[in-house]
Amino acid sequence: MTDNELQQLSIRLGQRLQAEGASVTAAESCTGGWIAKVLTDIAGSSAWFQRGFVTYSNEAKQQMIGVSAAALAEHGAVSEAVVREMAQGALQAAGADYALSVSGIAGPDGGSDEKPVGTVWFGFASAGGEVRAERRRFSGDREAVRRQATAHALQTLLDHLSAK
């Protein structure tokens, strides 16, 4: 996905959130703030995006958004349990209507048989109590994985809002 395509996706998501009078926050690990960057590239985004959390280390996940040490120890940072907790913690900390969370292995190192490079978990939470998670596997180099993860997170929330 090109920078222009990410920008257009961010614009559409922002328009949808603004129409709802809703806000979004992001808790990011492998994307390193890329979601927050593409959202805040949009003029006027402060109406629907007020903060993001770059929680790259396990300590940051625990301190900033309340991810439990137990979930990290039992499942690892790249897991369904952790992205669910990330999304819920970010939602609460930001007081937003929706939260996205992302944790994955962008590479080129760090993969395993169970979690190969390109494995990314996504969490989604809403102030209405919905929490869900999904896993995707992306190909390409580190930048490609991170770019695809950013696009997927934004598109998934947009699809969810459009289906309402």
What pLDDT shows up at residue 121?
Answer: 98
Q: Please state the pTM of the whole predicted model.
A: 0.97
Cα–Cα separations (whole angstroms), residue 20 to 12, 23, 56, 86, 109: 13, 9, 31, 24, 41
What pLDDT shows up at residue 1?
Answer: 86
What pLDDT shows up at residue 164?
Answer: 77
**Edge to edge, what strands does the sheet with 49-54 contain?**
49-54, 24-28, 98-104, 119-126, 131-137
CATH number at residue 86: 3.90.950.20
- Give residue-wise pLDDT tens across range 51-108: 999 999 999 999 999 999 999 999 999 999 999 999 999 999 999 999 999 999 999 9
d(CA 112, CA 124): 25
* Sole residue written with tokens 């997170």: 153
Range(s) of the domain holding residue 134: 3-162
- Pairing state between β 119-126 and 98-104: antiparallel
What is the rounded average pLDDT of the residues 17-22? Answer: 97
Domain count, the chain: 1
